[in-house]
């Protein structure tokens, strides 16, 4: 499936099941792969809000907001992701998040 087809596919699934965080996460990833960062934000927020212990949407959301120049909005998401990385013993994401947060 080509990248635009992936986003179309997952957008259709999200339209049918808007509360399905896995469909939203897959759509966000497809949108990011298409360099459609602004379009991915709402889906990453929905995923993070639905599952408070899910680290990956927070990491991607923080990075996406940084890419969009929205540093103040990115920081709390990155800090939450760091907290989860530490609590869940994810060493590589922890190191990456610490490096990202050093720039603030």
Query: Is 104's pLDDT higher than 90?
Result: no
What 89-93 contacts at long range (C-beta under 8 Å, 24+ apart), as own/partner pairs, is: 90/55, 93/55, 93/59
Here the tokens at position 72 are 């103040």
| pTM score of the predicted model | 0.92
8-63: pLDDT as tens digits: 999 999 999 999 999 999 999 999 999 999 999 999 999 999 999 999 999 999 99
Which domains occur in the chain, in start order? 3-102 (1.25.40.10)
69-99: pLDDT as tens digits: 999 999 999 999 999 999 999 999 999 999 9
């Amino acid at each position: 499936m080509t990248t635009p087809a992936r986003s179309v596919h997952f957008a259709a699934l999200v339209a049918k099941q808007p509360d399905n965080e896995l469909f939203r996460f897959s759509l966000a990833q497809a949108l990011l792969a298409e360099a459609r960062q602004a379009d991915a934000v709402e889906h990453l927020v929905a995923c993070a809000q639905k599952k408070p212990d899910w680290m990956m949407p927070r990491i991607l959301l923080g990075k996406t907001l940084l890419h969009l120049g929205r540093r103040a909005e990115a920081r709390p998401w990155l800090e939450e992701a760091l907290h989860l990385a530490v609590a869940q013993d994810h060493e590589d994401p922890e190191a990456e998040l610490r490096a990202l947060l050093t720039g603030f």
